[in-house]
């Protein structure tokens, strides 16, 4: 079949490549050749005749050769058009952030259509309606992070009691969320139920004013104010407007998709947002790695590991609480001193912290995540210090402090640039220069010095190269006797089979 197809195609191609005007030209060439041959024959005969006796020979005139009429031109063959390759356009990727935005848009009545996570024309049209309602610049192809974050947070607030508190729905509920953020939302007072009046009610029009006079010898009626009941608890008073990190990363992912991809050094127009993208990328990497490691822990379910990580977070809580007050060097020294007193081998400490880092981020437990990152840095993996810089910059789990954030960024990036292993997107050669540039553009300057009054006294320790048995373990060199560290029994560790 293939040979037949090839022969037919070759024939069609040969016909197609022959010029259509060649037939008349070939006929003219044939006439020229025939005429030349006849002329040559007459000359040859004359030469031969000149060598013979001159005998008059009457040569009858040869009739003119029949005029060769050109044949009909070959049928015009249209060149076969090559079959156009079928263009398969890639489908719009479905993302969890897209699903959340579509769900929120539908919830508030902006009709994004079917919730499939694909940001297509219907979703963009719904975004434009939402932007118009919020008095934002209307552009369905540009969904800034503050707009997306406001929408997602409003949806979460409404489902966590905001709708029940206000009794509102759809776009009116979205307006109520704006009032909630501004602190001007008045709680809805439930109306008392009124018993139905009987049918034999007499209606008096313009009743006369009646004055009640107490009877002689009776006590006058005293009006007593009703005693107010117990204060009604308001679950939303003073609620923090800061969203969970997972919600923040969903909004960042949606905005990055609307921007056409993550920012690079070549289009670093918003360095703060670029750092948020890298933070969320590192968070996702930690969650995935932690999930993979939990599969390698024998004998414990995911719920059991989560309980163990909560114990780990509690044990290192004292170290985590100092991140807002110490420099990176001081925080690392304190964490290393704590790790020394536990007697846990460094590799086991790091493996446990790596598991709990992923579980902490997956559960939006910022204390667990930051404590795990700190213990990883103290265990000789300074690349995880970048996470602490992100937390301090954005204020997740700790008060925002640009100066300390920059110090952690510089410590972590410098260590990786000097040869320490990179843990987040290690094959992306442009990641570290991007973070460097974004930190310089968004934070700038020098880290703010830590006031002497806020520096917590920490021990200076020399970590022994070998582990000392717990029964014979001596105090850490230079340790302050008044500082009590958690005993080894309260710090769980895991054996990860890799």
Q: Which stretches of the chain score pLDDT less than 50?
A: 1-53, 87-90, 189-213, 221, 223-230, 232-241, 445-490
pLDDT at residue 485 in the model: 34
pLDDT at residue 260 in the model: 84
The domain locations on the chain are 96-182, 274-490
Asked if residues 290 and 471 have their Cβ atoms less than 8 Å apart, the reply is no
pLDDT at residue 68 in the model: 57
Q: What are phi and psi of 297, to 5 degrees?
A: -90, 115
CA distances from 406 to 123, 437, 485 (A): 38, 12, 29
pLDDT at residue 59 in the model: 53
Beta carbons within 10 angstroms of residue 414's beta carbon: 14
Q: What is the DSSP string of 80-136?
A: PPPPPPPP-PPPPPB-HHHHHHHHHHHHTT----S-SSB--HHHHHHHHHHHHHTT-
CA pair distance 373, 392, nearest whole angstrom = 13
**DSSP-derived secondary structure letter, 159:** I
Residue 281 belongs to what H/E stretch? helix 271-295
345-383: pLDDT as tens digits: 999 999 999 999 999 999 999 999 999 999 999 999 999
Q: Which has the closest alpha carbon to 287: 212, 365, 213?
A: 365
């Amino acid at each position: 079949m293939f040979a037949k197809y090839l022969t037919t195609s070759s024939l069609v191609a040969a016909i197609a490549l022959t010029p259509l005007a060649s037939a008349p030209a070939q006929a003219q060439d044939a006439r020229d050749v025939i005429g030349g041959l006849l002329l040559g024959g007459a000359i040859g005969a004359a030469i031969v005749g000149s060598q013979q006796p001159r005998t008059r020979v009457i040569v009858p005139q040869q009739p003119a050769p029949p005029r060769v009429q050109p044949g009909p031109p070959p049928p015009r063959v249209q060149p076969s058009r090559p079959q156009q390759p079928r263009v398969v356009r890639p489908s719009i990727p479905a993302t969890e952030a897209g699903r959340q935005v579509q769900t929120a848009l539908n919830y508030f009545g902006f009709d994004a259509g079917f919730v499939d996570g694909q940001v297509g024309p219907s979703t963009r049209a719904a975004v434009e309606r939402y932007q118009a309602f919020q008095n934002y610049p209307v552009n369905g192809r540009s969904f800034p992070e503050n707009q997306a974050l406001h929408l997602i947070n409003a949806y979460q607030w409404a489902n966590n009691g905001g709708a029940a508190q206000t009794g509102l729905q759809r776009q009116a509920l979205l307006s109520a969320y704006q009032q909630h953020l501004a602190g001007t939302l008045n709680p809805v007072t439930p109306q008392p139920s009124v018993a139905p009046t009987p049918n034999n009610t007499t209606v008096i029009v313009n009743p006369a004013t009646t004055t009640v006079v107490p009877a002689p010898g009776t006590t006058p009626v005293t009006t007593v104010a009703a005693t107010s009941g117990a204060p009604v608890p308001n679950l939303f008073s003073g609620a923090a407007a800061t969203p969970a990190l997972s919600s923040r990363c969903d909004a960042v992912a949606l905005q990055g998709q609307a921007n056409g991809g993550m920012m690079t050094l070549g289009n670093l127009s918003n360095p703060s947002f670029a750092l948020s993208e890298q933070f969320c990328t590192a968070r996702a990497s930690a969650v995935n790695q932690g999930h993979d490691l939990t599969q390698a822990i024998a004998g414990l379910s995911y719920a059991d590991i989560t309980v163990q990580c909560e114990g780990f977070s509690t044990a290192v809580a004292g170290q985590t609480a100092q991140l807002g007050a110490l420099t990176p060097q001081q925080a690392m020294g304190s964490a290393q001193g704590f790790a020394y007193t536990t007697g846990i081998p460094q590799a086991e400490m790091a493996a446990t912290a790596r598991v709990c880092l992923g579980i902490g981020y997956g559960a939006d437990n910022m204390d667990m995540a930051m404590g795990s990152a700190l213990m990883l840095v103290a265990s000789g993996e300074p690349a995880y210090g970048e996470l602490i810089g992100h937390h301090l910059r954005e204020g997740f789990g700790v008060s925002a402090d640009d100066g300390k954030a920059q110090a952690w960024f510089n410590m972590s990036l410098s260590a990786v640039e000097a040869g320490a292993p990179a843990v987040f997107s290690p094959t992306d050669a442009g990641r570290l220069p991007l973070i460097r540039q974004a930190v310089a553009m968004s934070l700038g300057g020098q880290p703010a010095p830590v006031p002497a009054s806020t520096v917590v006294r920490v021990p200076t320790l020399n970590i022994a190269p070998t582990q000392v048995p717990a029964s014979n373990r001596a105090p850490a060199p230079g340790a302050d006797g008044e500082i009590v560290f958690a005993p080894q029994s309260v710090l769980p560790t895991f054996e990860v089979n890799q």
